[in-house]
Structure 1
Amino acid sequence: MIESADIREWRTHDVVDPGGHRIGSLEAVYVDTTSDEPAMVTVQVGLPTRHRLVFVPLDGAVVGPGYVKVAYDKALVKDCPAIGTDDVLPAEDEEAVFRHYDLSYQPGAAGERQLARR
């Protein structure tokens, strides 16, 4: 498992898919609120004048020299629900990110978010 302290050091490094295709640059780490373990990262994608952030799960991710290789193809990642570079993922949109990757979504008993930015 990738430790949150370690993955934060890779901010701005390339995120690549299993085939080595560059998806974008790592922007932030999000942890699972129940375990405080790294669960997803946001990746900056798009044209220089139209950047946006997409979420990518860290399950199966591998850290290499100057990159983080995720287990999801570039096309799937780029189709994920996105936020602006200065925006925060609204709580009501969080489930859509999990659904995009066919992952189960478990909010807290009182409706707390499953992801928190670190």
Structure 2
Amino acid sequence: MITSADIREWRNHDVVDPKGHKIGVLEAVYVDTSTDEPAMATVLTGLPTRRRLVFVPLGEAVLGPHYVKVAHPKGLVRQCPSIGTDDVLPAEREEGIFQHYGMEYRQGAEGERQLARR
């Protein structure tokens, strides 16, 4: 299992898909608020004049020398809902990210968000 401490060391390293195709650069880690374990990462993608952050699950991620390999293909990740490089994820858009990957979205008992940036 990848822990919060482990994945923080990989910021600014390449994120690749299962076939080794570069998706972008790891920008931040989001943890599941119920477990405090890494759940998603934001990946910086796009051209220098049109950069954005896309979300990708870290559930089956593998750490390698200077890269993080995720379980989802590059095309699927790049189609994920995104935010601007200086933006924060609005609460109302969080569920859409989980739906994009076919994952269950679970709010807290009192409506808390499932993801928190670390």
Same fold, judged at TM 0.5 (above): yes
Give 2:47's aligned amino acid.
L
2:40 is matched with 40
What displacement does 1:53 show? 0.2
For residues 29 and 106 of structure 1, the distance between their equivalents in structure 2, rounded to whole angstroms, comes to: 18
Identify unmatched segments of 5+ residues in structure 2.
Answer: none
**Which position in structure 2 is the counterpart of 1:79?**
79
> How far, CA to CA, are the matches of 1:53 and 1:8 in structure 2?
17
Equivalent in the alignment of 1:6: 6
How far apart, CA to CA, are the structure 1 residues paired with 2:78 and 2:34? 27
**Aligned equivalent of 2:52:** 52
Return the offset for 1:109. Answer: 1.3
TM normalised by structure 1 equals 0.99
Relative to the length of structure 2, the TM-score reads 0.99
* Residue identity in the other structure for 1:18: P
Misfit runs of 4+, over 4 Å: none
Please state how far the C-alpha of 1:57 moved relative to its aligned partner: 0.2
Match of 1:61 in 2: 61
Q: Which amino acid aligns with 1:35?
A: T
3-state SS of the aligned residue for 1:98? helix
Deviation of the 1:9 alpha carbon: 0.6
* Cα separation, 2, equivalents of 1:35 and 1:58: 14
Structure 2 equivalent of residue 107 of structure 1: 107
Kindly report the root-mean-square deviation, in angstroms, between the aligned alpha carbons of the 2 structures. Answer: 0.4
| Matching residue's letter, 2:73 | D
What SS does the corresponding residue of 2:10 show, helix, strand or coil? coil
* Percentage of matched positions with identical amino acids: 74
Partner SS for 2:44: strand
SS of the equivalent of 1:6 reads: helix
Structure 1 residue 110, shift from structure 2 partner: 1.3
SS at match of 2:92: helix
SS at match of 1:5: helix
